[in-house]
Amino acid sequence: MQKIGVFVCHCGTNIAATVDVLRVVEAAAKEPGVVHAQDYPYMCSEAGQALIASAIRDKGLTGIVVCSCSPRMHEATFRKCAERAGLNPYMVEIANIREHCSWIHKDMEEATQKAIILARAAIAKVHLNTPLAAGHSQVTKRALVIGGGIAGIQTALDIAEAGYPVDIVEKNPSIGGRMAQLDKTFPTLDCSACILTPKMVEAAAHPNIRIFTYSEVERVTGFVGDFTVDIRKHARSVDMDKCTGCGLCQEKCPSRKTPDEFNRALGTRSAIYTPFAQAIPNVPVIDREHCIKFKTGKCGLCQTVCAAGAIDYTQSDEIVSEKYGAIVVATGFDTIKLDRFGEYAYDQSKDVITSLELERIMNAAGPTGGHLERLSDGRMPREMVFIQCVGSRCSDGRGKSYCSKICCMYTAKHAMLIRDKYPDVNVTVFYIDVRTPGKNFDEFYRRAVEQYGVNYIKGQVGKVAPLPDGRLRVSGSDLIDGKAVEITADMVVLATAIEPDPSARRLASMLTASIDTNDFLTEAHPKLRPVESPTAGVYLSGVSQGPKDIPETVSQAGACAAKVIGLLAKDRLTTNPCTAHSDQLLCNGCSACANVCPYGAISYEQREVNDHGVRGERRIAVVNNALCQGCGACTVTCPSGAMDLQGFSNRQLIAEVDAICR
């Protein structure tokens, strides 16, 4: 019989306000095997833990139940506490009487009754707990960063600086990401390229950093400290070692009509191309879909002009398999498609553009050479209208329910830059709210209004109607005046909602990292563990976790790097001992369990088994504890009940069921 101690936490008033803690203590004390029961205001505090430790020592407890907050919060705390007091940490069970009880119920009687039942279930379970010993696993001291934008670059640089090797995988031909597409950055109006390209160069030159561009993650196996990742390097058709980056091939390429992704398809590019002048690596790729050589077999001009002999039409995709201890997701964002917002006429007029397109138009290296002009006729606009929250804060299913966070600030930036450069252009911004939390942010927005005379109208736009003369009639509302207003504009800029890059979903599946309903990766704790995914060894950097601007992205990238460095600095990790094991007396050797094991952790052995004196050779399932992650799929597939899961055994779970139904 176990000697069990029960510790009931008040959590200040979080629990005690709705659960009569003393009655829980009383009820628990009456349960069989319980030799000690007490309450304390904050069980997780040092004093609370000291109480637990001394009870373990003084009363020789063999198992403890802590009735407190969610085990996801403090299970580890109490396990460590037990361990320090000489009790096996897996002899600890938590009854979640806060998140699952006191916080969801109002009635004291009801909540107290439920808390007692939850305590009983935990007591019933701990009766069947057995001491478990955690194993150890090695840490591969190398990190993988998926995504080569500012988030990925910064994270990689910080990890590399700490002395660990890092690989960056970027799906585009160059690193740089969205930030490379921006013209200026708020709130200080630095030129985006001027502050980004030095970091790109630094990453490329860093001895600890390897960059795989034009590459994608194909497969991930393994677990924290020991991931194996297959990276598909798409065929570049250009030999990276030979290419000198002279650019002659791009100049001579006769296929020039491909929409230029980097310029948001506002211009065109050649089939052999580098996305932008400062690309890293400065080695072009051949877009085989549009290359005449690949389409018809005729051409080969680039090969002819390449003095270095770097063009290689025979290259094929290459899979690189590499081991990593930690993986960082920094896959960034894209703007949403506007096909469900026909009222803004984005598909009906060339002069209705997204803000990201405006960035390219304003950029000296962009399709208009940095000159503000209408894409329909090249004329300078006189009247510009910016529309905020296009697809953001939209809960009707057409857009995104969240605030995209960056639009208020970049719109103020755009308005300011335009008014500064072209004082004759009238700028009107339709807004619902102007959101400027951040250092010097509100001051920045106010400057746009007070110093640059940007006309802010509180109200949303209901329709943008192209007029026969090529202008655009913007019908909006002015909520301060309480009326509908109309502005005839030359150009309309939509602050389009941002969404996680579409690759995030597939990647999250491969990493078994969870994503939320909007496809943003979920953090392990929204406040306390914001850069870690709930999946050990997977970390989050940049907008893949949620909308954020550049200063915030860079801070988060640093935080993420710190977490990765913390992991890589360890020589070994303790493994989860809650793994499956097979009872050789019960095992039929039928292979059903191996069929469902996602980790390939189950193999079969011919083994001589002594079954109550009868010896015989049997085919027996054997679990590799280093590979098993403890999901339990095998235990249910096993018809004979030979397969069981430590820590969540059949009998433990049934004991909980019985306690709840009692």
Partner 1 sequence: MSELTERIMEISGADPRKCMKCGKCTAACPVAGEMDIKPHQFASCLAKGQSDLLLSSNTLHKCLSCFACVERCPRDVRPGRLIDAVRQCVVRARGQAFLTPEEIPELLDDELPQQLLVSAFRRYRR
Partner 2 sequence: MQELIERAKALLADGTVSRVLGWRATDTPFGPEPAFFESGEELNEFVYNCFCGANLSKYLIESSALEGKTLAFLKPCDTYSFNQLCKEHRIDRGKTYIIGVGCKGKITVERLHELGIKGILDVEDAGDTLTVKTLYGEKSCPYSDAMLERCHACKGKEHRVADEVIGESADTTDTDRFAKVTELEQMTSKERYAFFQAELSKCIRCNACRNVCPVCNCRKCVFDGNAFDSVQKANATEFEEKMFHIIRAFHVAGRCTDCGECSRVCPQGIPLHLLNRKLIKDMDAFYGEYQAGEDTSTVSPLTAYTEHDIEPEAGKGGNE
Partner 3 sequence: MKFSYYPGCTLKNKAKDLDRYARACAAALGIELIEPDDWQCCGGVYPLGKDEIAPKLAAVRVLADAAEQGNQLVTVCSACHHVLKRVNDDMKNDADTRERANRYMDLQRPYTGQTGVLHLLEVLRDRVGFDTLKEKVVNPLTGKKIGAYYGCLLLRPGDVMTLDDPENPRVMEDLIRALGAEPVVYPYRNECCGGYVSLGDKELTGRMCDRILESAVGFGAQMLLTACPLCMYNLRAHSDLPVYYFTELLAEALGVKEAAQ
* Shortest reach from residue 457's CB to partner 3, in Å: 21
**Binding partner at 613 among partner 2, partner 3, partner 1, none, C-beta below 5 to 8 Å by kind:** none
Tokens of 623: 């679990």
Give the torsion through C-alpha atoms of 305, 308, 311, 317, to 10 deg: -170
Q: Whose structure tokens read 């031909």?
A: 173
Residue 132 vs 465, nearer CB to partner 1:
465
The mark string for 589-628 relative to partner 2 (x by CB under 8 A, - otherwise) is: xxxx--xx-------x------x----xx-x---------
Within 118-160, strands assigned E span: 136-138, 143-146
- The only residue of 432, 449, 586, 592 in contact with partner 1, by rule CB under 8 A: 432
Per-residue tokens: 555: 């801070």
637 forms part of the interface with partner 2 (CB under 8 A): yes
207 binds, among partner 1, partner 2, partner 3, none (CB under 5 to 8 A by kind): none
Per CB under 8 A, 465 contacts partner 1: no
Name the segment binding partner 2 (CB under 8 A); options: 14-22, 323-331, 532-540, 587-595.
587-595
Of positions 348, 555, 591, 610, contacts partner 3 by CB under 8 A: 348
From the list partner 3, partner 1, partner 2, none, partner contacted by residue 339 (C-beta under 5 to 8 A by kind):
partner 3
> Is the bond into 207 cis (omega within 30 degrees of 0)?
no
Eight-state DSSP code of residue 311: B
Residue 428 in contact with residue 386, Cβ under 8 Å? yes
The listed partner (partner 1, partner 2, partner 3, none) that binds 345, CB under 5 to 8 Å by sort, is partner 3
Confirm or reject binding of residue 446 to partner 1 (CB under 8 A). Answer: no
Q: Which stretch binds partner 1 (CB under 8 A): 82-90, 114-122, 473-481, 573-581?
A: 473-481
* Beta carbons within 10 angstroms of residue 397's beta carbon: 7
Residue 591 contact, options partner 1, partner 3, partner 2, none, Cβ 5-8 Å cut-off depending on partner type: partner 2
User: Is residue 468 close enough to count as binding partner 2 by CB under 8 A?
Assistant: no
- How far, in Å, CA of 137 to CA of 77, rounded? 22
Q: What angle do CA 340, 342, 344 make, to 5 degrees?
A: 120
Among 345, 493, 511, 627, interactor with partner 3 by CB under 8 A: 345
Exactly one of 340, 446, 641, 660 binds partner 2 (CB under 8 A); that residue is 641
Q: Across the beta sheet with 166-169, what order do the strands follow? A: 209-212, 166-169, 143-146, 326-329, 538-540
* Torsion angles phi and psi, residue 398, rounded to 5: -85, -35
Cβ atoms of residues 534 and 373 within 8 Å: no
Q: To the nearest whole angstrom, how small is the minimum distance from the Cβ of residue 133 to partner 2?
A: 23
Q: Using CB atoms within 10 Å of the CB of residue 105, give its burial: 0 to 12 exposed, 13 to 18 middle, 19+ buried.
A: middle
DSSP for 155-205, please give it: HHHHHHHTT--EEEE-SSSSS-TGGGG-SEETTTTEEHHHHHHHHHHHHHH
C-beta closer to partner 1: residue 134 or 479: 479
Shortest distance, position 509 Cβ to partner 2, whole Å: 10
- Pick one of partner 2, partner 1, partner 3, none as the site partner of residue 449 (Cβ within 5 to 8 A by kind): none
Phi then psi for 157, rounded to 5 degrees?
Answer: -60, -45
Beta bridge partners of 255: none
Q: Which stretch binds partner 3 (CB under 8 A): 14-22, 260-268, 344-352, 365-373?
A: 344-352
The alpha carbons of the chain give a radius of gyration, in whole angstroms, of 31
Residues numbered 474-503 forming contacts with partner 1, rule: CB under 8 A: 475-479, 482-484
Kindly list the residues in this chain that would bind partner 1 in the complex (CB under 8 A).
343, 389, 393-399, 432, 458-463, 475-479, 482-484
Kindly list the residues in this chain that would bind partner 3 in the complex (CB under 8 A).
339-343, 345, 347-348, 397, 463-469
Kindly list the residues in this chain that would bind partner 2 in the complex (CB under 8 A).
583, 585-592, 595-596, 604, 611, 616-617, 619, 637, 639-641, 644, 650-651, 654-655
